[in-house]
């Protein structure tokens, strides 16, 4: 085995340990996390409404939304998942969607696969948990939790 295979094995094992620990939320902890996320999403909506109202008052119309850029909450590091050897051998390919919740520091605290083949799901989850984002803030510069969806593409010739 060459050094790259050892490095991949070490990374894979460390990702697996991290994801197992991150997913062990009790039902109460998960409910609390989603409740706090809902409060933060309401704060963002109120902030967006206040900004829009201010623009209408000042300029007579709201500014157009810019697409393709996230002002805060942008990915800092989206980890590429390791292609599972069984999936590679069977030439299984496809897209895996992972919905995540990111905390105030930019770390993924919850991830759930919403679309994808069973062979590829665990690798996508492990990669999602070690991805990082810029913290997202409200109008008052209060850091908040937010949702983010990651698309992973797996192809046998990767």
* 42-52 pLDDT tens trace: 988 888 898 89
pTM: 0.72
Q: What is the pLDDT of residue 51?
A: 87
Q: Mean of the per-residue pLDDT values for the chain?
A: 82
The CATH superfamily assigned to 3-154 is TonB (3.30.2420.10)
Among candidate residues 140, 157, 156, 146, the one with its CA nearest the CA of residue 46: 140
CA–CA separation, 52 vs 74, rounded Å? 22
């Amino acid at each position: 085995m060459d050094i790259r295979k050892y490095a991949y094995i070490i990374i894979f094992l460390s990702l697996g340990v991290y994801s197992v620990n991150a997913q062990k939320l009790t039902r109460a902890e998960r409910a609390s996390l989603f409740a706090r996320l809902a409060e933060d999403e309401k704060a963002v909506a109120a902030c967006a409404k206040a900004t829009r109202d201010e623009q209408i008052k000042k300029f007579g119309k709201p500014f157009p939304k810019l697409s393709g850029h996230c002002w805060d909450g942008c990915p800092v590091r989206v980890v590429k998942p390791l292609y599972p050897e069984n999936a590679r051998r069977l030439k299984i390919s496809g897209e895996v969607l992972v919905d995540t919740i990111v905390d105030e520091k930019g770390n993924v605290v919850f991830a759930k696969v919403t679309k994808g083949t069973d062979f590829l799901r665990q690798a996508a989850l492990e990669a999602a948990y070690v991805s990082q984002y810029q913290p997202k803030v409200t109008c008052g510069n209060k850091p908040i939790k937010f949702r983010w969806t990651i698309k992973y593409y797996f192809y046998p010739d990767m």
